[in-house]
Structure 1
Amino acid sequence: MADLFADDLPPAPTPGAPREDAPLADRLRPRTLHDVVGQEHLTGPEGPIGRMVAAGRLSSMILWGPPGTGKTSTARLLADAVGMRFTAVSAVFSGVADLKKAFAEADLAARAGQRTLLFVDEIHRFNRAQQDGFLPFVERGTVTLVGATTENPSFALNAALLSRAQVLILHRLGAEALNRLLDKAEALEGPLPLDADARAALVASADGDGRFLLNQAETLYAAQIAEPLDPAGLGQFLQRRVAVYDKDREGHYNLISALHKAVRGSDPQAALYYLARMMTAGEEPLFLLRRLVRMASEDIGLADPQALAQCLAAKQAYEFLGSPEGELAIAQACLYVATAPKSNAAYKAYKAAARSARETGSLMPPANILNAPTKLMKDIGYGKDYAYDHDAPDGFSGDNYWPDDMTPQTFYEPVERGFEREIRKRLEWWDRKRAERRED
């Protein structure tokens, strides 16, 4: 499948003269890193990519972000910016033979003094063994690896590969960045046949995907529409539900913020209203379900343990029924979390515990609670004097479970609401028992 390598393709047009018949997204592809929109946190002077380019040397990296955020363009421009040879493979179409060819060519280029940037699109689609195959070539410096993925690298990529590459996160394009893309399109093709509200709706419908936005714009240009479309006309023309904007033009993030805060504020009527607003505007139902699950853990927690179960059941019901029947399950979950007793005690406790773990993460647990599967481990005290709680009075030994060099901490403080009221009583009872044990 050598024909899939970038070096074997016909020469690309020069940046100043794109092919006239190329798709709009290709004709508007950025020509320098400065032209990449929406990723200034990476490409700017203080960003990691900006700093590497200024130094003239790149380290291997994984570009993680949603579709249409500029991963491929960024990789190509990186090679140009530091004078490296650019080679690309796609994990969807390429196999071991393609990788061997790429590494062999990179070896030859290195002997001639030319460094190679190997761009691997959809790198998460390579299996673990194939990912391991990159390691010796990255370690020797044969290639500088730039992988692109839409999946969480923590789960999709080998730990060994991640340890040799910096993970850089590309953000979904916000409204400002998407509007800049449309401005560039209009500078090239002329005004879009949309009124202001329809233009805003088109931007919202892209859901952060710049490529999708430009493809939609190209469809509008090709139709040669005489009169500007309003949001309803745009939705009918594209046969796609687009976001419904009221006179204040509240967008995606404003609405999800309003939904979350209405749930947190225990206002089920307002929460249901904002949920319906987003569903009507064409919001992705699984996005809403993810946020409801988050609310169940962040704002309710153990004040009502059923909140999380209700949200996960709604996800299962929606996946089983689909739209529109499954949307009722989402509404039910929304009403449940809005009417549940509220507590962020679990959320605060985890943040405090994570902060403490970062500060004391190398401390060993006390020897008495360590497992001792071997004689040597038993001989050095692992598991010695462990108190088995089920054998203790009241099923509670009151033993110490904290590292010897660490003072016991209090992270979780349940509130006097809902089920956490009962948990607080239990914790207080256990605290009294521990105090009695220390006194004995």
Structure 2
Amino acid sequence: MASLFEAAGLEDSAPRPLADRLRPKTLAEVAGQDHLLAHGAPLTRMVESGSLRSVIFWGPPGTGKTTVARLLASVSGYEFEQLSAITSGVQGLRETFERARKRRQDGIATVLFVDEIHRFNRAQQDAFLPVMEDGTITLVGATTENPSFELNGALLSRATVLRFHRLDESALETLLQRAETAQGARAPLTPDARAQLINMADGDGRALINLFEELMAAHDPAAGDLDIEGLADLVQRRAPLYDKSRDAHYDLISALHKSVRGSDPDAALYWLARMLTGGEDPLYIARRLVRMAVEDIALAEPHALSLAIAAKDAYDFLGSPEGELALAQVTVHLALAPKSNAVYTAYKAAMASARDSGSLPPPRHILNAPTRLMKEEGYGEGYAYDHNAPEGFSGQNYFPEGMARETYYRPTERGYESELAKRLARFQRLREGRAE
């Protein structure tokens, strides 16, 4: 739908932010999304076919989702309608669908762009299904959250999910040059400060242009080019993209965990710092470090668990920011520790056997016999007290009667587990010798 400015022919003269004035006029001008818009890419093929299909655009803010939706509608001859899931309700959807139905009767197709579509509840999302199926609308939904978790399966089955990438330095530099051309002046920055301005945008094209506009409005041209420190004093740094209740929370803890597992202390420290600067609860991180100690290190270095718990206690005792150093210390220690998931694997295998074997009782010779009846039933009969056996090892069977002996724990040759592997091998030799 046309705005009042557009209807009055005043759109070009209306006061608009620079980011809005610099919106691409064609799909070829969209920066940083070549995987979707280059020759042979999904959206290009869709346009060339002459028939748009419903899609979900998934990606961080400022990557061109709204712009691409508008341009797709324009180049395909569709009417463009836009809603925000934050401000629209069921009544708004009904009115939009009704307008689309009337257009369809006149032979005009409608692209309905829904920003923040993940904010709609399940019932609201279900309302799209019939109008998508009968062709009343072609839905273009935009979301910063993982559609697999936030959108109904029925809706996802009727749309193609396309991932928008965070803008890289090259794409942001392109946008900065366009802003300079529109402004008729270059950014008054040293090369290092220019790189820092791009870094401040954190992959968000809209944020970069807003920072540029803020810079140009506040800087005195007579002062010359700004260095990094001068730039930081003049403009507000954009906060890193991090919502500790959503995707970034899970993505960054996964990155921290895998960096520790991969024995890379530097990468692990980086992701730890990213989470802390993003406002993550340090005790949540401490709990995950304890999990890493038991899941990925375990008996390869038995002290790792004690150190992880000690780091949690140190944070509890010291608070922030001093206590965060304890988290950093144990992060480095865990990253450099020998790794083993042998206990983790053994536990899962034992759980599977326990589920499959049902309620098999323990063998009677290892059961206590506190009553005469139990003694008469054979409880405890034939039990060998290991401390009295040669080398302190009897080699008796402790698995249920009728169940073959299983091997769950297979220690690695890394760290302390190499010693445990030797003990197990010795016990196995003794067991086999006493069975002969």
Measured against the shorter chain, the TM-score band is 0.5 to 0.7
Deviation at 1:336, TM superposition (A): 3.4
AA aligned opposite 1:388: G
Q: Is the 8 A contact 1:292 1:333 kept in 2?
A: no
Aligned match of 1:388: 358
Distance 1:312 1:156, change over 3 A: farther
Q: Comparing 388-397 with 334-343, which one deviates more in the overlay?
A: 388-397
TM-score, normalisation: structure 1: 0.66
From the CA coordinates, give the structure whose radius of gyration is larger.
2
Deviation at 1:289, TM superposition (A): 11
Q: Is the 8 A contact 1:389 1:395 kept in 2?
A: no
1:207 aligns with 2:177: no
Separation (CA, whole Å) in 2 of partners of 1:222 and 1:232: 18
Q: Is the 8 A contact 1:84 1:117 kept in 2?
A: yes
Q: Deviations over 1:7-61 (max 9, x none)?
A: 565428999x844631111111111111111111011122211110111111111
Distance 1:414 1:234, change over 3 A: farther
AA aligned opposite 1:218: E
Aligned match of 2:331: 334
TM-score, normalisation: structure 2: 0.67
Separation (CA, whole Å) in 1 of partners of 2:318 and 2:55: 40
Q: How does 1:299-378 map to 2 (within 5 A)?
A: 301-304=295-298, 324=321, 327-328=324-325, 330-342=327-339
Distance 1:79 1:222, change over 3 A: same
Distance 1:104 1:196, change over 3 A: same
Separation (CA, whole Å) in 2 of partners of 1:315 and 1:187: 53
Aligned match of 2:228: 231
Q: Is the 8 A contact 1:414 1:424 kept in 2?
A: yes
Deviation at 1:318, TM superposition (A): 9.1
Aligned match of 1:158: 152
SS at match of 1:148: strand
Separation (CA, whole Å) in 2 of partners of 1:387 and 1:417: 32
Separation (CA, whole Å) in 2 of partners of 1:321 and 1:93: 44
Deviation at 1:328, TM superposition (A): 3.0
Q: Is the 8 A contact 1:57 1:82 kept in 2?
A: yes
Q: Is the 8 A contact 2:289 2:331 kept in 1?
A: no
Q: Deviations over 1:209-239 (max 9, x none)?
A: 1111111010011114321111111112124
Deviation at 1:345, TM superposition (A): 8.6
Deviation at 1:124, TM superposition (A): 0.5
Distance 1:179 1:419, change over 3 A: farther
Separation (CA, whole Å) in 1 of partners of 2:313 and 2:107: 56
Separation (CA, whole Å) in 2 of partners of 1:203 and 1:309: 43
Deviation at 1:319, TM superposition (A): 12
Distance 1:414 1:299, change over 3 A: farther
Match of 2:56 among 56, 62, 66: 62
Deviation at 1:344, TM superposition (A): 8.2
Distance 1:174 1:260, change over 3 A: farther
Deviation at 1:197, TM superposition (A): 0.3
Deviation at 1:390, TM superposition (A): 4.8
AA aligned opposite 1:234: L
SS at match of 2:52: coil
Separation (CA, whole Å) in 2 of partners of 1:90 and 1:312: 45
1:169 aligns with 2:139: no
Aligned match of 1:217: 212
Aligned match of 1:115: 109
Q: How does 1:9-88 map to 2 (within 5 A)?
A: 10-11=5-6, 18-19=12-13, 21-88=15-82
The share of aligned pairs that are identical, in percent, is: 50
Q: Let me know the Cα RMSD of the aligned residues.
A: 4.9
